[in-house]
Structure 1
Amino acid sequence: MSRLHRRALLGAATLLALPRLAHAWPDRSIRLIVPFAPGGGTDTTARIVAQALTERLGQSVVVENRAGAGGAIGMAQAAQAAPDGYTLVMGHVATHVVNMAVQRNPGYDTARDFVALGITSTAANILVVNPNRQSGINTLQDFVAACRAKPDELSYGTAGVGSPAHITTALFLRTADVKAQHVPYRGGAPATTDLVAGNLDFMFSGASDCIPHIRAGRLRGIAAASSKRLSGAPQIPTVAESGYPDFAFEIWHTLSARRGTPPEVLAKLREATHAALTSPQVIERITAMGVDATPTTGEAAQQRVDRELARWVPMIRAAGITAD
């Protein structure tokens, strides 16, 4: 083979490689779907992470809100996207686990459609009572005794059927073998407001909603449904500490990509996500929301999703909770 021929072949090989190099991922903006309305905790978390990923990937990560059906609409849209790394979704325990149990046909399947990139944060609901309406309830034992004394009479509010607060309450009532009246609201904040006003007896309220009221004395914190005491309210014991050692239902947020994303792209996404979530700036901003920043690797995040699907879906179904 002549030197000229070899040069021609080398030139052709270089030209063939150019499109591959020019289109190395990512070469355009990335869409981050938030399956809830703007302004909530999931949306705020997504925007913090999107900014950090933009800096690390060199392409804009653009948040797109697709709310409705308890997050199922946005999750289903993400599940229909191409598995190319250009569509991500920020969900949490309700979108990834609870919907698999309470919705007959949510339009997606967590295990089939998504792969986790990292857990961003973890929070938990706190059992709270109005101290004026329920002056005799100071401990979890007091609460269970009050429920047993008035079966199915005490009322509690939630952000709606199938919401994390509803699941937390229903599972605890089932664990304690007591009953109460469910009053669903269009969001956790209005339910907490009604509890403060004395229109409800108790609720498992989100930490960011209820801690200001606890500090002001308008609500009394009884127990947190977390694996450890919350950093924002360390004086409140966990449900496990208060006599139910196996009970904890935590609200974690996870960033996910489509399952089937090319391995090299998935590796870049997981690496960038872990770097973003472990940065001091991101940890500070997430912690300021009143939740615990709990950054994990993609592999650890996937293990948690798989573990909680296996644990909670059968229990939720057994409790007869349905959103359909």
Structure 2
Amino acid sequence: MHSHSVNALPNRRTTLQAGAAAALAAVLAGIGETAFAQAGQIETLKIVTGFAAGGTSDTLCRRLATKLAPEFARTAVVENRTGAGGQIAIQYVKAQPADGATLLQTPTSMLTIYPHIYKKLPYDPVADLTPVSVACVFDFGFAVGPAVPLDVKTVPDFLAWAKANPAKANFGSPAAGSTPHFIGALLGKSAGVELQHAAYRGTQPAMLDLLGGNISAVSGPVGDITQHLPTGKVRILGVSGAKRSRFAPDVPTLLEQGLKDMAFSEWFAMFLPPKAPPELVARLNASIRTALAATDVADGLATFGLEVMPSSPGELAELLRKDTARWAPIVKQIGFTADT
């Protein structure tokens, strides 16, 4: 009898604890469901990019999609809405509900340079998007091909050669009004050389023309150039970062070659449609950080010359503000406008 009552105590306590735990679990489940309902119960997450499949922007989206499902949404798909140098994708995302089902991935120049070169943009870079996180950073390279003599070994060498050979003083870039276009234009201005610019639909078509000797130089993302180094026909004369690129460690920066103020990097960043709720932004930011921290993601992006670099939503907003201000006088100095 005595032993029975002693045993009864822990049983009763266990029952109470179990009851309390079940009640707590029910409350937590309720909270979880409410939060999920508020976030729009994301079945399918659409990651939208303004660039074609196979490029760096698309690659980043696909690698993120594999990690954001099932963690953030049940499934994740990539949608390529190309055209107008990335504007179509931004215009599409700004019109979507901010429920977490649509996420934009874009290079930042569409938000920091375009306002200075287009009189009429179909979006407001600040009001029409909610910053979530920077995803990665990349530098640009300035490369020459078979059209340029082998004794041209530096960017100043190239500019001197271009001055002496005005018929061949040209370069290609992935798009008019892009960062690499402006890097080439600034290089020409710095040496008083008229460098003719050829705009391509991406860096790869420009690289093919470079390899064929049809253009003298290409300004484009480092990762788009390094993949052609094994041909032996391409030489990178300089890189645009504040320090040397780990993807081309032997190549001096433009700064090291005496070209002052010539440090430029570009960011790929993630945005939700306007007025996204702060809890949703925080949840998505945490999911993106986790995805980018995965070794296979970081290593995969490195093969494209992309350095993983997540940020807080506030840091991304501040980066855009600073970059927009920095580009205003540069665009004015170059005198380029995209409105024809």
Same fold (TM over 0.5): yes
Question: Which residue number in structure 2 is paired with residue 144 of structure 1?
Answer: 159
Task: Check the 8 A contact 1:31/1:64 in 2, yes or no.
Answer: yes
Question: Which residue number in structure 2 is paired with residue 83 of structure 1?
Answer: 98
CA displacement, residues 108-162 of structure 1 (integer Å, 9 cap, x when unaligned): 1112222322222222221111255333311122123223444585111122322
Percent identity, please.
28
**TM-score, structure 2 as length reference:** 0.83
Are positions 1:118 and 2:169 aligned together?
Answer: no
In structure 2, how many angstroms separate the alpha carbons of the residues matched to 1:315 and 1:157? Answer: 19
Are positions 1:109 and 2:124 aligned together?
Answer: yes
**SS in structure 2 of the partner of residue 198 of structure 1:** coil
Question: Which residue number in structure 2 is paired with residue 8 of structure 1?
Answer: none
**TM-score, structure 1 as length reference:** 0.86
Q: Give the deviation of 1:25 after TM superposition.
A: 2.1
Are positions 1:173 and 2:180 aligned together?
Answer: no
Matched residue type, 1:27: Q
Change in CA separation of 1:41 and 1:21 when aligned onto 2, cut-off 3 Å: closer
In structure 2, how many angstroms separate the alpha carbons of the residues matched to 1:313 and 1:45? Answer: 29
Change in CA separation of 1:176 and 1:123 when aligned onto 2, cut-off 3 Å: farther
Unmatched tracts of structure 2, length 5 or more: 1-26
Question: Which residue number in structure 1 is paired with residue 219 of structure 2?
Answer: 204
> Higher mean Cα deviation, 127-136 or 115-124?
127-136
RMSD: 2.4
Task: Check the 8 A contact 1:131/1:220 in 2, yes or no.
Answer: no
Matched residue type, 2:93: A
In structure 2, how many angstroms separate the alpha carbons of the residues matched to 1:115 and 1:261? Answer: 6
Question: Which residue number in structure 2 is paired with residue 253 of structure 1?
Answer: 268
* Correspondence 1:14-53 to 2 at 5 A: 20=34, 23-28=37-42, 29-53=44-68
**SS in structure 2 of the partner of residue 88 of structure 1:** strand
Are positions 1:95 and 2:110 aligned together?
Answer: yes
Q: How many residues align?
A: 309
Matched residue type, 2:121: P
Q: Give the deviation of 1:82 after TM superposition.
A: 2.0
Of the candidates 278, 284, 287, which is equivalent to residue 269 of structure 1? 284
Question: Which residue number in structure 1 is paired with residue 144 of structure 2?
Answer: 129
Of the candidates 59, 73, 83, which is equivalent to residue 74 of structure 2? 59
Question: Which residue number in structure 1 is paired with residue 308 of structure 2?
Answer: 293
Task: Check the 8 A contact 2:146/2:216 in 1, yes or no.
Answer: no
Q: Give the deviation of 1:308 after TM superposition.
A: 0.9
Q: Give the deviation of 1:72 after TM superposition.
A: 0.5
Rg comparison, structure with higher value:
2
Change in CA separation of 1:174 and 1:89 when aligned onto 2, cut-off 3 Å: same
In structure 2, how many angstroms separate the alpha carbons of the residues matched to 1:260 and 1:114? Answer: 8
In structure 2, how many angstroms separate the alpha carbons of the residues matched to 1:175 and 1:83? Answer: 45
Task: Check the 8 A contact 1:140/1:222 in 2, yes or no.
Answer: yes
